Amino acid sequence: MKKILTFALCSLLFALCAEGTTVVATVNNVPITDADITARIRVMNAMGERGTDNRHRALNHIIEDNIRLGHTAQLQIMPTDAEVNSELDAMRARGLDTSGLNPVGMNVLRNALRSNIAWQMMIGRVLMPTVNITDEDLEFELNEISRTRGLPVNVEIIRLVGIPENIAARLTTPENCTDAVRIARSHGGEPIRLTVPEFELSEDIRTRIVGLSELTWSPRESGSVLLVCSRTPMPGQEDIDNIVRQNAMWRRAMFLGEQQLNQLRRRAVIVVHDERYRGAI
């Protein structure tokens, strides 16, 4: 009987090794296997995340997932299977191909999604109510949205192209948009005047008018100058200030969440058992 049990145990260990289930690290006593890391690399590849140190990055991703889930579980924040499935369906609709993932890979993917959802819930429920923002935070957020995406406002703008530097220096402050056109023409220019949603402007134009006061000529760049006559909220988008405030609060809460995650990671008990991963942590 003893020989039979010994043989069975050896066979089981051999099977585990053959399947790549060697434990390479633990985080707070939760084992991370070689198979988990291989599966996480496949998930990373499916999401377009590639690099030269994939196994190290995969290990760190899994460690972070476990730390997040451990912390949110203590706060009794745990996404349901339905919420995870909904997020997975949304990612597939956006082009995520999971056909190359085996059952271990799907489990790793679901765990990563559960971790992300739980952390977002924690930020919204725990950190957001504690956030205080300043006028500087609001100004930064307003400018960041304007530059990267464009606000839902109609911008009346004047553009002068092919303007010499000495002429640009002589442009005076106008009283209104019509006066700006007159000033431009008095110097031989032919201004382009148009009204367009800010989000339809190219990013380089949005970048140039971010923070630019109305009825103020922009600095000359690439032989052109710009002037914003007015910014008017589009119909149904009058509550821009509240949108900016919510975004600024969320950005601040995300920053606090990153700080908290760094603290949790420093306190976590992480043990690396495989020499190949010694420099990964």
- The residues pairing with 153 across neighbouring beta strands, listed in sequence order, are 233
Q: How many helices (H) and strands (E) does the chain have?
A: 10, 6
Give CA–CA dist 49/42, Å, rounded.
Answer: 9
pLDDT tens column, 114-131: 999 999 999 999 999 999
Beta strands per DSSP E along 190-239: 192-197, 224-233
Average pLDDT over residues 42-47: 90
Residue 192: closest CA among 180, 174, 201:
180
Task: Answer whether residue 32 shows pLDDT above 70.
Answer: yes
Tokens matching residue 210? 């971010």
Whole-number pLDDT of residue 51: 74
Whole-number pLDDT of residue 281: 74
pLDDT band, very low/low/confident/very high, at 12 (cuts 50, 70, 90)? very low
User: pTM for this structure?
Assistant: 0.75
Interior angle at CA 162, CA 159 and CA 166, nearest 5: 100
Mean pLDDT of the chain: 89
pLDDT tens column, 213-248: 999 999 999 999 999 999 998 887 768 888 899 999
- CATH superfamily, domain 20-130+272-277, is Porin chaperone SurA, peptide-binding domain (1.10.4030.10)
Average pLDDT over residues 176-197: 93
Task: Answer whether residue 67 shows pLDDT above 70.
Answer: yes
Average pLDDT over residues 170-182: 94
At residue 232, the 3 state secondary structure works out as: strand
